[in-house]
Amino acid sequence: MFLKNAWYVAAWDHDITRDLQQIMVLGEKICVFRSEVGALVALEDACPHRKLPLSKGRIKGDTVECGYHGLTFNCVGQCVWAPGSGGIPSNAKVHAYPLHEKYGLVWIWMGNPALADPADIFEIENYDNPAWGINRGAAMELDCNYLLMCDNLLDPTHVAWVHQSSFAADATKDTPLRITKTENGVIVHRWMMDHEPAPFYRKVVEFEGNCDRLQHYEVRYPSHALIKAVFTPAGTGGPDGSLHENTFIMDSYNFMTPTDEGRTRYYWFQLRNIRPDDDELSRMMSEDVQHAFEEDRDVLNEVQKGMSNKTSPHIDLPIDGGQLRFRRQLQAMINEERQVDRQMAE
Ligand SMILES: [Fe+2]
């Protein structure tokens, strides 16, 4: 089940071109392309006549011609030509999805188009800040439900076991978590004081010796995460810490787009407050992060199988508190949306 009145990431902006392409979001097949002036278009990928995907047809100027009988649709999904002498049936149309380009990503609104407001797209602090560097990797395909990835991104503890060569330190095993429910999601965070930086961060922090480390894991509805890592010399961190001029901050953005109930497309990039133009650093960070996310993928693909085919009940632990709260609230939002849809249909 999915929240439909929400923005999801459909693609990287450079992936949508003048070629007709099919993408799948929330189980819906969608034909995407750019108009002659470069505007983004997303149409339901099924001709209303015999349901051949429009992406199997031809682009003609700013219209799409079905590859079966030539029915032709404009950028808002209206049929503008149909074969035969009977004219164009009034119900010859396909749904047109609102799209918006931001942060190098194309965002798609899956619900009622009248409610689509680009101001509701996830806010990314420092995206245009020239003092911050960015590294990006390719989108990843996960063979699991999107909520398993949301669980993972509300779970600072898993790094101790899943990411031993990169993000793990002794303190990540058992320092207690703090859980906060916000207006638009859940935050799980903790400060770990005076310990050795984990291997990945040892390579990038610009100070010697031990650190105080913040793990801030935040997921916002429906499925977008900010994972903030702060590393500051021991004695300068903590909730009331002054931080040091050499404090290293990495904001990791993670956008999960459900392909369907069992598959997820995962877009990510990191912003860092050091060496913005250092391409070698960006490359190294992308490679290391991608390696860590592949570790997550291996675990989550197996968790999907384990949880869908379980022969005995699973258990929850106190560390799951943030995830369970997130899932409960998202489910309440989905239920509310369905109730409104039912009322409108009556
Ligand atoms: Fe992870």
CATH number at residue 18: 2.102.10.10
Contact indicator for 216, 150 with CB cutoff of 8 Å: no
DSSP state of 110: -
Domain count within the chain: 2
Both 178 and 293 in a single domain? Answer: yes
Both 153 and 246 in a single domain? Answer: yes
Task: Compute the mean pLDDT over every residue in the chain, rounded to the nearest whole number.
Answer: 96
User: If you measure from the C-alpha of residue 99 to the centroid of ligand 1, how many angstroms do you get, rounded to a whole number?
Assistant: 30
3-state SS record for 177-198: CEEEECCCEEEEEEEEEEECCC
Confidence of residue 175 (pLDDT cuts 50, 70, 90): very high
Which of 94, 118, 142 is a domain's end point?
Answer: 118
CATH number at residue 276: 3.90.380.10
Both 140 and 245 in a single domain? Answer: yes
Contact partners, residue 344, CB within 8 Å, separation at least 6 = none
Both 26 and 133 in a single domain? Answer: no
Q: Residue 256 falls within a domain, yes or no?
A: yes
Confidence of residue 223 (pLDDT cuts 50, 70, 90): very high
User: If you measure from the C-alpha of residue 157 to the centroid of ligand 1, how many angstroms do you get, rounded to a whole number?
Assistant: 9
User: If you measure from the C-alpha of residue 201 to the centroid of ligand 1, how many angstroms do you get, rounded to a whole number?
Assistant: 15
User: If you measure from the C-alpha of residue 11 to the centroid of ligand 1, how many angstroms do you get, rounded to a whole number?
Assistant: 22
User: If you measure from the C-alpha of residue 169 to the centroid of ligand 1, how many angstroms do you get, rounded to a whole number?
Assistant: 14
Confidence of residue 346 (pLDDT cuts 50, 70, 90): confident
Residue 172 has pLDDT above 90, yes or no: no
Write the DSSP assignment of 292-334 as a string of letters.
Answer: HHHHHHHHHHHHHHHHHT-SS-----GGGHHHHHHHHHHHHHH
User: If you measure from the C-alpha of residue 82 to the centroid of ligand 1, how many angstroms do you get, rounded to a whole number?
Assistant: 51
Q: What is the pLDDT of residues 24-58, one digit of tens each?
A: 999 999 999 999 999 999 999 999 999 999 999 99
CA separation for the pair 331, 267 (Å, rounded): 23
Residue 288: what pLDDT? 95
Q: What is the pLDDT of residues 73-105, one digit of tens each?
A: 999 999 999 998 888 999 999 999 999 999 999
User: If you measure from the C-alpha of residue 222 to the centroid of ligand 1, how many angstroms do you get, rounded to a whole number?
Assistant: 19
Residue 8: what pLDDT? 98
Q: Residue 294 falls within a domain, yes or no?
A: yes
Both 49 and 193 in a single domain? Answer: no
User: If you measure from the C-alpha of residue 151 to the centroid of ligand 1, how many angstroms do you get, rounded to a whole number?
Assistant: 10
Provide mean pLDDT across the span 124-149.
97
Helix (H, G, I), strand (E, B) or coil at 136: strand
Handedness of CA 10, 11, 15, 21 (dihedral sign): negative
User: If you measure from the C-alpha of residue 69 to the centroid of ligand 1, how many angstroms do you get, rounded to a whole number?
Assistant: 49
Residue 85: what pLDDT? 81
Handedness of CA 318, 319, 324, 330 (dihedral sign): positive
Q: Residue 341 falls within a domain, yes or no?
A: no
Provide mean pLDDT across the span 302-312.
97
Structural domain span for residue 220 = 128-310+318-332
Both 222 and 289 in a single domain? Answer: yes
Which of 80, 97, 118 is a domain's end point?
Answer: 118
Category of 275 on φ-ψ map: left (φ > 0), alpha (ψ -120 to 50) or beta? left
Both 154 and 297 in a single domain? Answer: yes
Both 214 and 135 in a single domain? Answer: yes
User: If you measure from the C-alpha of residue 46 to the centroid of ligand 1, how many angstroms do you get, rounded to a whole number?
Assistant: 37
Residue 322 has pLDDT above 90, yes or no: yes
Which of 74, 91, 118 is a domain's end point?
Answer: 118
Helix (H, G, I), strand (E, B) or coil at 69: coil
Q: Residue 198 falls within a domain, yes or no?
A: yes
Both 200 and 229 in a single domain? Answer: yes
Provide mean pLDDT across the span 295-303.
97
User: If you measure from the C-alpha of residue 328 to the centroid of ligand 1, how many angstroms do you get, rounded to a whole number?
Assistant: 22
Amino acid at 113: P
Both 260 and 185 in a single domain? Answer: yes
Both 143 and 86 in a single domain? Answer: no
